[in-house]
Amino acid sequence: MTQVALPGLVTPPRLPQGTLRIVPLGGLGEIGRNMAVFEIDGKLLVVDCGVLFPEETQPGVDLILPDFSYIEDRIDDIVAVVLTHGHEDHIGAVPYLLRLRNDIPLVGSQLTLALVEAKLQEHRIKPYTLSVTEGQVEQFGPFQCEFVAVNHSIPDALAVFIRTAGGTVLHTGDFKMDQLPLDGRITDLRHFAKLGEEGVDLFMSDSTNADVPGFTTAEKEIGPTLDRLFGQATKRIIVASFSSHVHRVQQVLDAAAKHGRSVAFVGRSMVRNMAIAAKLGYLHVPDGILVDLKNIDTLPDNRVVLMSTGSQGEPMAALSRMANGDHRVVVGQGDTVILASSLIPGNENAVFRIINGLLKLGADVIHKGNAKVHVSGHAAAGELLYCYNILEPLNAMPVHGETRHLIANGKIAEESGVPTASILLADNGTVIDLKDHQADIVGQVEVGFVYVDGSSVGEITDADLKDRRVLGDEGFISIITVINRANGKVVSGPEIHARGVAEDDSVFDDIIPKINAALEEAVLSNADHTNHQLQQIVRRIVGTWVNRKLRRRPMIIPVVLEA
């Protein structure tokens, strides 16, 4: 029977000497916030440290971080943070971890570290970094790490093979098996085979496309579609993609050069990341093709391409502001907008709003649903099966994906011959111990969501978000009453003000006598009633009446003052 992290798991036992413990702090049951902690002999190794982007049910939140509380008291025991690649859901939380200790060594490929360093510079943190390449082996305390080239939607991605006294683990990071990548750097299955011969005790593999049959389409197949669309377009072309998708930007640059168009990068992260990629040689920019956004109005519309952020509907990103008419780039009749990215789960409504807004402005909108303008960066079921067969791992723990993805990955592991009892379907905070080639779920630690809201980190709670949702969905009612405790009479009010309830304040005239009567009765029956108790009486009366009369459940803020 597959090992599943069921509710009610207890606090894990003390870690025995020579046993490897793995605790995922994010990335399980969700797309994002990837972070796993490995522990043996009193030392910790962290693999990835990413962010999760908020959904509509989390209004006002900028980012969601992994919960560092599990390691906060042991921050000095961390020997290194290994970063598999440069996407935000794997590196975005690094600045917040380094606030706890700024000299934790960061280990990753050249491009990954360059993107992290640029991010840390904004936080005024100068990190200690170690750049590694495929085939390199490094020792970090009791952890020996060997790095393996993998192909993904960003260059320079690495898997990491971790050797310890407790056992060996292969963590893929995000990967796919594109056999004709733009940069010629394929997932190194020969290296995987060598590790399989050595022995992989635990395989932690990307699950994002585990429920997609077959094999992921090659990135180069996007090129002909872009070529066709650029040839058809008569006005401006706006391409929206992830700001780190170097390969996609490369194909846009190549198509623009072929059709005699200039390219301007739009969005701070796009400008920054592509400058880094070009400087390091990962992005090849044709001579004279780039123009500054400030100068695009001097060029004919049929000679302009804008490479923009905002493909996920982020409200403050460039494409959203264009769709809302709140950007210096004005989208007009006949412009072509290409959404060259997938939909991250939870972003569907935001993206569809942008598409509708752009269509209203007269643009032609091309997206994954009506043209081949995106391919995934994650291995589909057929690719995962190849990996299991090559590695023949003794235990499997699917990572990086929603529950449906993890379960699908577990089924692939079972089909390949991994014993059912050795397949672990974990949650964030599930504790796994590896010893003598056997991995077991041994407990659960508490992990929560840490919200970044403006300058505050971790101060916003789920209760605060619930209040925000209530305010947004149901509105707000305030009731101010002044009472004389000596005689129990209401001397002023109640003054009732409503916002977002879609009713005139006069509708509350019927409830005012009931509030007065209830307060006077409460004070006369017990003069020791606190103001809080009196406010609760007002809240109950108004809440019951509003729910019955208006069929609403607004936020109710009663204030009772003494004369």
Residue-wise pLDDT for 387-409, tens only, equals 999 999 999 999 999 999 999 99
* Residue 287 in tokens: 């001579």
> pLDDT tens digits, residue range 344-394?
666 667 778 888 888 888 888 888 778 788 888 899 999 999 999 999 999
Alpha-carbon distance of 281 to 190, in angstroms, equals 26
DSSP string, 336-383: EEEE-S---TT-HHHHHHHHHHHHHTT-EEE-TTTS-----SS-BHHH
Say how far apart CA 318 and CA 295 lie, in whole Å: 17
CATH number at residue 261: 3.40.50.10710
CATH number of the domain within which 533 lies: 3.10.20.580
**Is residue 43 situated within a structural domain?**
yes
Q: Check 201, 206, 254, 364 and give the catalytic one.
A: 206
Phi first, then psi: what are they for 283, rounded to 5°?
A: -120, 125
Domain coverage including residue 538: 475-562
User: Does residue 62 sit in the same domain as residue 183?
Assistant: yes
pLDDT of residue 535: 76
Give the Cα separation of 153 and 344 in Å (integer). Answer: 14
In the chain, the percentage of residues whose pLDDT exceeds 90 is 53
Instruction: Give residue-wise pLDDT tens across range 33-43.
Output: 999 999 999 99
87 annotated as ligand-binding: yes
Tokens linked to 530: 């606190």
Q: Which residue has the higher pLDDT, 332 or 506?
A: 332
527 and 482 in a common domain: yes
**Residues 171, 191, 378, 405: which is the catalytic one?**
378
Do 8 and 67 reside in the same domain of the chain? yes
Share of the chain above pLDDT 70, in %: 88
378 as an active site residue: the answer is yes
Q: Indicate whether 245 and 307 sit together in one domain.
A: yes
Same-domain check for residues 205 and 229 = no
Is 85 annotated in some ligand binding site? Answer: yes
Residue 400 marked as a ligand binder: yes
Q: Look up the pTM and report it.
A: 0.82
Residue 374 among known ligand-binding residues: yes
Which amino acid appears at position 50 of this protein?
A: G
**Do 495 and 433 belong to one domain?**
no
Active site (annotated) includes residue 206? yes
Domain closes at, from 314, 339, 366: 366
Residue where a domain terminates, one of 366, 387, 416: 366
Among 325, 309, 323, 332, which Cα is nearest to 357's?
Answer: 323
Task: Indicate if 205 and 77 belong to the same structural domain.
Answer: yes
Among 104-113, 131-140, 519-528, whose mean pLDDT is lowest? Answer: 519-528
Is 470 part of any known ligand binding site? no
Q: Pick from 374, 386, 370: which is nearest to 210 by CA?
A: 386
Q: How far apart are CA 88 and CA 116, in angstroms?
A: 9
Grade residue 199 by pLDDT with cuts at 50, 70 and 90. Answer: very high
Same domain, 206 and 316: no
Identify the band that residue 311 occupies on the pLDDT scale cut at 50, 70 and 90: confident
Residue 5's nearest CA partner among 395, 416, 397 is 397
pLDDT band at 488 (very low <50, low <70, confident <90, very high): low
pLDDT at 456 over 60: no
Is there a single domain that holds both residue 279 and residue 396? no
The answer to whether residues 349 and 391 belong to one domain is no
* 543 and 527 within one domain: yes
Residue type, 333: Q
Domain of residue 394, CATH code: 3.60.15.10
Number of domains into which the chain is organized: 3
Mean pLDDT across 180-194: 94
Residue 437 assigned ligand-binding role? no
Which of the listed residues 318, 346, 366 is the one where a domain comes to its end? Answer: 366
Per-residue pLDDT band at 60 (split at 50, 70, 90): low
Say whether both 331 and 449 belong to one domain. Answer: no
